[in-house]
Amino acid sequence: MLTTSHIDRSAHAMARPLEGRVALITGSTSGIGLGVAEAFAAQGAIIVLNGFGDRMQIEDTRRTLEQTHDVAAFYHGADLSRPAAVGEMMAYAHAEAGGVDILVNNAGIQHVAAVDAFPPEKWDAILAINLSSAFHAIRLALPQMKARKFGRIINVASAHGLVGSPFKSAYVAAKHGVLGLTKVVALEVAETNITCNAICPGYVYTPLVEKQIEDQAKTHGIPREKVVTDVLLKAQPNKRFAQVAEIGALATFLASDAAASITGTALPVDGGWTAH
């Protein structure tokens, strides 16, 4: 029999579909990760933030999430280039937030150089942060997701997981790797109510992109407006940067019960870039 509290809970669940779920979003002190954290919190999720930045600002972000959305929010500053730190972050999420129902592997860095001038230490760092940290977080999240018979893994890859561009060898290799990892995980856990998908953004306006605008303006000796129109958005047919809220909205849908049958996919949010 349905009691009033059942009705209240289901009404609440419909209003905020991620109510009570714990979401860990790597690299969520900035850009897309922060946008995803805000979108999840607005839908009732308990948030575990991760990433670098000014400690006071991060604490402010954490508290604002709690106060604005009436959810608990936590923070762990693991440096994801170190596998042991990924383990510490996952253990923290388990101990403090009660586990990880939704894992968003979002942290990422970029370096732009020709292959024969690409610094090997940059290659190693990009592979470690953009690809291997996702493997470590997934491998540590899965046992508990399997036990709970629920899990949503969302890997923030890139249009560069689907196509290449010159001077981005490590980034493109790592993002293609993320798509391979996404497919394998999806297949392995397909019968356990755990899904694993990748979001493949084109250009989204974030600090990472702002840095690329500045770098390219310096390298090519052209004004930043020209870098935006003639370099960055050249291959993006809709000629606009996506907003972090658009990625947050898609991640929210993928994390919801309604997306239970979507798994193993790579979903472009790229204004038509990979339709070329």
Regarding 129 and contact with ligand NAD (CB under 6 A), the answer is yes
Between 16 and 38, whose beta carbon lies closer to ligand NAD? Answer: 38
Contact pattern from residue 153 through residue 182 relative to ligand NAD, giving x for each residue in contact according to CB under 6 A and a dash for the rest: ---x-x------------------------
What is d(CA 108, CA 175) in angstroms, rounded to the nearest whole number? 10
Rounded to an integer, what distance in angstroms lies between the CA atom of residue 91 and that of residue 21? 17
**What part of residues 214-273 is at the interface with ligand NAD (CB under 6 A)?**
none
| CA distance between the termini of the chain | 55
C-alpha triplet 262, 144, 253: angle, nearest 5°: 25
> Two tokens at 201?
């953004």
Say whether residue 194 binds ligand NAD (CB under 6 A): no
Which member of 203, 236, 254, 263 binds ligand NAD (CB under 6 A)?
A: 203
Q: Which of 43, 106, 169, 216 binds ligand NAD (CB under 6 A)?
A: 106
274 contact partners, CB below 8 Å, separation of at least 6: 159, 162, 163, 200, 202, 268
The string of DSSP letters for 183-216 reads HHHHHHTGGGTEEEEEEEES-B-SHHHHHHHHHH
CA–CA dist 128, 174 (Å, integer): 9
Show Cβ contacts of residue 149 under 8 Å, excluding neighbours closer than 6 positions.
192, 193
Q: Is 203 a catalytic residue?
A: no
Minimum CB distance to ligand NAD smaller for 53 or for 264: 53
Indicate the residue among 32 and 186 with the shorter CB distance to ligand NAD. Answer: 32
Q: How many residues bind ligand NAD (CB under 6 A)?
A: 29
The residue with tokens 């230490």 is: 121
- In angstroms, what is the minimal distance from the CB of 233 to ligand NAD? 11
Burial class (CB in 10 A: 0-12, 13-18, 19+), 125: middle
Is 204 a residue that touches ligand NAD (CB under 6 A)? yes
CB nearer ligand NAD, residue 107 or residue 179:
107
Residue 49 in contact with ligand NAD, rule: CB under 6 A: no
Q: Where are the beta strands (DSSP E) in the chain?
A: 22-25, 46-50, 73-76, 102-105, 151-156, 194-201, 266-269
CB 195, min distance to ligand NAD, A: 19
Residue 84 C-beta: closest distance to ligand NAD, Å? 13
51 contacts ligand NAD (rule: CB under 6 A): yes
Stretch that binds ligand NAD, among 12-20, 29-37, 68-76, 187-195 (CB under 6 A): 29-37
Among 16, 27, 173, 268, binds ligand NAD (CB under 6 A): 27
Least distance CB 198 / ligand NAD (angstroms): 10
Token code pair at residue 69: 């959305």
Q: What are the residue numbers of the active site? A: 171
Q: Name the residues that contact ligand NAD, by CB under 6 A.
A: 27-33, 50-53, 79-81, 106-109, 129-130, 156, 158, 201, 203-204, 206-209
